[in-house]
């Protein structure tokens, strides 16, 4: 899977030289697959996720939940926690930072593209690899063997609805901005994820 290099400004300036996809096996799970991408045969990013969104599959970059420190004991708590995990002190569950439209920001991407061209190219490569992996699985039937991946912590296997909602809002926001700029929709019908 390669994204063509194009040196002009605003273009993707790297090759996605490999995408590895591991399908999740629970059909009820909105998290459809994990992916890792290799950039220019030189740098690997793992823990991208392919999510079954309202408008088709999209890619979420590796991310962490945001946290803050308890005023009383300084223990770190998740932004939605109503009580401190250590001292039991009461916390405001609405204290998360807000985006420009006043909605809670609960997660931050650990690695992400910084322009829309790169985002679109990366996401196309990942979604295409995902579709290819599904086809491989269908062709192979019972003899299908998933890609060999390190077994990462499985806590993220079931994505919480609030996170998916946050990702879809960000995606809608990007599409709205693109429409405002009169840029034709890109990505060949492949929905774009976070970044």
Binding site for Zn ion (CB under 5 A): 70, 72-73, 75, 84, 86-87, 89
The CA distance from 32 to 186, in Å, is: 23
CB of residue 65 to Zn ion, shortest distance in Å: 18
Question: Is the CB of residue 89 less than 8 Å from the CB of residue 77?
Answer: no
CB of residue 106 to Zn ion, shortest distance in Å: 19
Residue nearer to Zn ion on the CB measure, 12 or 70: 70
The CA distance from 168 to 193, in Å, is: 8
Residue nearer to Zn ion on the CB measure, 44 or 73: 73
The rounded Cα 37 to chain-centroid distance in angstroms is: 13
Contacts of 46 (CB under 8 A, 6+ apart): 34, 36, 62, 150, 152
Residue nearer to Zn ion on the CB measure, 45 or 81: 81
CB of residue 96 to Zn ion, shortest distance in Å: 17
């Amino acid at each position: 899977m390669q994204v063509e290099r194009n040196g002009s400004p605003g273009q993707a300036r790297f090759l996605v030289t490999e995408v590895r996809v591991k399908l999740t096996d629970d059909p009820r799970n909105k998290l459809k697959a994990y992916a890792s991408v290799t950039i220019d045969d030189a740098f690997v990013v793992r823990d991208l996720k392919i999510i079954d969104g309202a408008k088709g599959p999209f890619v979420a970059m590796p991310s962490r939940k945001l946290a803050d420190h308890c005023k009383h004991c300084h223990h770190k708590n998740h932004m939605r926690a109503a009580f401190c995990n250590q001292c039991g002190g009461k916390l405001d569950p609405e204290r998360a930072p807000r985006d420009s439209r006043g909605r809670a920001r609960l997660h931050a991407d650990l690695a992400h593209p910084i322009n829309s061209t790169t985002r679109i190219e990366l996401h196309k490569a990942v979604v295409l690899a995902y579709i290819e992996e599904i086809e491989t699985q269908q062709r192979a039937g019972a003899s299908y063997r998933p890609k060999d991946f390190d077994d990462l912590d499985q806590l993220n296997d079931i994505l919480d609805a609030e996170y998916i909602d946050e990702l879809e809002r960000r995606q809608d926001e990007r599409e709205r901005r693109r429409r405002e700029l009169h840029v034709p929709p890109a990505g060949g019908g492949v929905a774009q994820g976070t970044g």
